[in-house]
Structure 1
Amino acid sequence: MTLTAITNARVFDGEKSLGVQTVVIDGGRITQVGGDAPRGSEIVDGHGATLLPGLIDAHVHSAPDSLTLALRFGVTTELEMQGMNTRENRGAITDDDTVADVRSAGFAITPPGGHPSELMPEGYRPKRDLPPVMPLMPFSTTPEEAAAFVPQLLARGSDFIKFMIDDGTVEGHPGLPVLDQATVNAGVAEAKKYGALTVAHALTVEATAMAAEAGIDGVVHLFMDQPHTAEIIGLIRDAGMFVVPCISLNASMMGITGSELADDPRVAARLDSRWDRTLRSSYNRYPQGSLDDVYDSVRALDAAGVDILAGTDVSMPETFFGGLAHGASLHHELQYLVAAGLTPARALRAATATTARCFRLSDRGRIAEGLRADLLLVDGDPTGNISDTLNTRAVWRRGARLALESLPS
């Protein structure tokens, strides 16, 4: 197999800038960082560009062709927070270098009739092929039920265990059935027996506090029902939780669309009409929310040393899941993180090394010898201008370069 040497590009290794370095790919792995290109290598001249690890979206829900769309934007891994891509269903995905890789919670532990049932219009049926094995539906109302489902989910191929802590207030459906503290505690305690990672859906300060008390590893949303306080920031920090703010989702909940992103020709060239319509829409379920409050909370968490991860909560190409599109919205999230006060380098870490570390993906998220050759080459320097992440020049997934016709001209 021919070696590939990417030369003359600035390298951001997932944690820091290395300056201009040669990066060599052999098969699906990075075999050299620095030095000269080996004799006989296929040379990819990265002059004027920056080489990044493939991006990781830390909160998605898959849809037909969504993994293909994500990879077009240099998102090489998606972390599915509710869906069907558990290990028993994703064999073909793992071996297909034309789509993003995926890890999945399977379905989250939630009560019957609890979130996310309120998001679906009455009679709605998604148009999608069913997987080879239907996922386990872990509906729970008692500590015993939640604890019993954990080993079943893990046995069925869930990569982490998710808990829904949501009474529907933010979505405009107050009074939904919701897990109580004892049930969350029992489920988390059971997951810890197996060494499993745990995450929680929590859109309010109260739900976030419940997650912290239970010992959840991370929350995959940022509360949006009120401004942060020193108490909640301290609680998150002291619990050692990571946070996936999903600012792009919070903005959509407030009625802010992704139209400006959709108008960007670097995005428009990669979206079909369904995703364009979806991106130009919004959830618009919590218009009373404040994006400035969300920014302030992110800034306070970052200042407190809490791990911030980049995620979007992108779902299906439906306008009631609006404001989001696979791949494109992760770049939007990076822009939101910078608007909240993170440096561009800090935002890039949130979509690469930090997420890989928090989700125990030790083979990716950085440019280092021996790791997967999941790579994104972009024109410009996103450590100075975060918008440059959209200037896609090349994408590699396990060392396989994505066909140029899949990218904008």
Structure 2
Amino acid sequence: MSTTAITGAQVFDGEKPLGITTVVFEGSRIVQVGGEAPAGAQTVDGTEATLLPGLIDAHVHTDRASLALALKFGVTTELEMQGANTRDRRAPISEDDSVADVRSSGFALTPPGGHPSELFPEDFHPGKAGDPGSGHRGEPPYHPDATSPEAAVASVPHLIAHGSDYIKFMIDDGSVEGHPGLPMLDQATLTAGVTAAKKHGALTVAHTLTIDATRMAIEAGIDGLVHLFVEPATDEIITMIKDSGAFVVPCTVLNASMMGITGDQLADDPRVASRLDTDWDATLRSCFGHYPQGKLQDVLDSVKALADARVDLLVGTDASQPMPFLGGLAHGASVHQELQHLVAAGLTPAAALRAATATTARRFHLSDRGRIAEGLRADLLLVDGDPTTTITDTLNTRAVWRRGTRLASDWPRR
């Protein structure tokens, strides 16, 4: 088993900067933080660089190609919020160090005809262009029944048995997406489902793009909100979230896209452009554009209010497939833009980095990653510069390791 020592780098351990220190990993695990490099270890010079835990995207819809793209940007784990990469279906991904690791909710509880059915064109068919369910063998993913409280309760153990790592609830009437009047979970069905999931020991998360939907989720006892509402925050809703103990994945990049803001500026960055193919470049340069009346500053102000209230914030993007109608986002790349948005909202760079590493790992019970500490996975990102002071330095990739395996790369150095 080979031993590698990264020396001379500033280390951010997922919680705080440690200064310049040596990090040693043997095989897939970190075995030493600090001290001298062991005799005979392969040495990686980290001078003028910063070593970070591998980044975690806490909201995606993904497939093998997207997981490979994410890893190129130092995102070593993606958390799927609807898709087919459940525990019983992802063994090949878990053992493939050329792609990011993944966890999944499986399919979310939503009424027939409810969100996200309105997002897809009539000629869209599963299995095209990297559909999350494509490439899997065996029985199809389990689709839960959310037509009544009793049906939701009955669906939860089936989701868990089919390998869902957490249970997701869609609370969306389509108003933000330009399709008002969609069938939506009612409070009784939502509360019954969340209660059942907790009885089975499962983490619960909710899709909520409005304050009203957020209030429903909090009243149901949800553990986490995997979107941030698009309207200006009220003191009441910030207090409700704080008092509930729920975490929030703002997906600010998604809200920006909903408001008509494309990812052109990110796509123009040579550190990003060199890693995107034509389809992903076109997707990043597009946008959802369904909520043009919204203001990104309102979202940033809400992020700051939540941070000031000491609500746990997690970095997520809602990146999906390389199609312009799902635009403004790209796997991996948009994580770095989300970090920049969090800093623009008023978080320190270190707080933003925690939101993409240790905080996410803690809230999703991923005890083997998200930090640089002895015994944890050697999921690591080495970047030129110091993102704890200049957040855009996260894109200055020097090296990426997934379980101690270094990703082959041809990205440009700054």
Q: Same fold (TM over 0.5)?
A: yes
- 1:367 and 2:372 aligned: yes
- 1:29 and 2:25 aligned: no
Q: Deviations over 1:80-136 (max 9, x none)?
A: 000010011100000000000000000000000000000001121233434223111
- 1:317 match: 322
Name which of 219, 233, 241 aligns with 2:246.
Answer: 241
- 1:76 match: 76
Determine helix, strand or coil for the equivalent of 2:367: coil
- 1:163 and 2:169 aligned: yes
Determine helix, strand or coil for the equivalent of 1:190: helix
- 2:142 match: 136
User: What is the deviation of 1:64?
Assistant: 5.0
Q: Deviations over 1:258-302 (max 9, x none)?
A: 000000000000000000000000000000001111011000000
- 1:397 and 2:402 aligned: yes
User: What is the deviation of 1:404?
Assistant: 2.7
**TM-score normalised per structure 2:** 0.97
Describe how 1:3-402 pairs up with structure 2 within 5 A: 3-125=3-125, 126-128=128-130, 129-132=134-137, 133-224=139-230, 226-402=231-407
Structure 2 CA distance, aligned partners of 1:12 and 1:347? 12
- Residues 72 and 395, structure 1, Cα contact 8 Å, conserved in 2: yes
Bigger Cα displacement from structure 2, 117-126 vs 260-269: 117-126
Bigger Cα displacement from structure 2, 105-114 vs 139-148: 139-148
Structure 1 CA distance, aligned partners of 2:384 and 2:288? 33
In structure 2, give the amino acid aligned to 1:383: T
In structure 2, give the amino acid aligned to 1:369: E
- Residues 64 and 93, structure 2, Cα contact 8 Å, conserved in 1: no
Structure 2 CA distance, aligned partners of 1:149 and 1:194? 12
Structure 1 CA distance, aligned partners of 2:94 and 2:404? 14
Determine helix, strand or coil for the equivalent of 2:88: helix
Determine helix, strand or coil for the equivalent of 1:88: coil
Structure 2 CA distance, aligned partners of 1:64 and 1:32? 32
Structure 2 CA distance, aligned partners of 1:63 and 1:197? 22
Determine helix, strand or coil for the equivalent of 1:395: strand
Q: Superposition RMSD on alpha carbons, in Å?
A: 0.8
Structure 1 CA distance, aligned partners of 2:412 and 2:208? 37
Unaligned runs of 5+ in 1: none
Structure 2 CA distance, aligned partners of 1:2 and 1:154? 37
- Residues 12 and 18, structure 2, Cα contact 8 Å, conserved in 1: yes
- Residues 277 and 319, structure 1, Cα contact 8 Å, conserved in 2: yes
Structure 1 CA distance, aligned partners of 2:260 and 2:393? 26
Unaligned runs of 5+ in 2: none
Percent identity reads 70
Structure 2 CA distance, aligned partners of 1:127 and 1:392? 28
In structure 2, give the amino acid aligned to 1:343: T
- Residues 372 and 398, structure 1, Cα contact 8 Å, conserved in 2: yes
Moved over 6 A (4+): none
User: What is the deviation of 1:34?
Assistant: 0.2
- Residues 270 and 408, structure 1, Cα contact 8 Å, conserved in 2: no
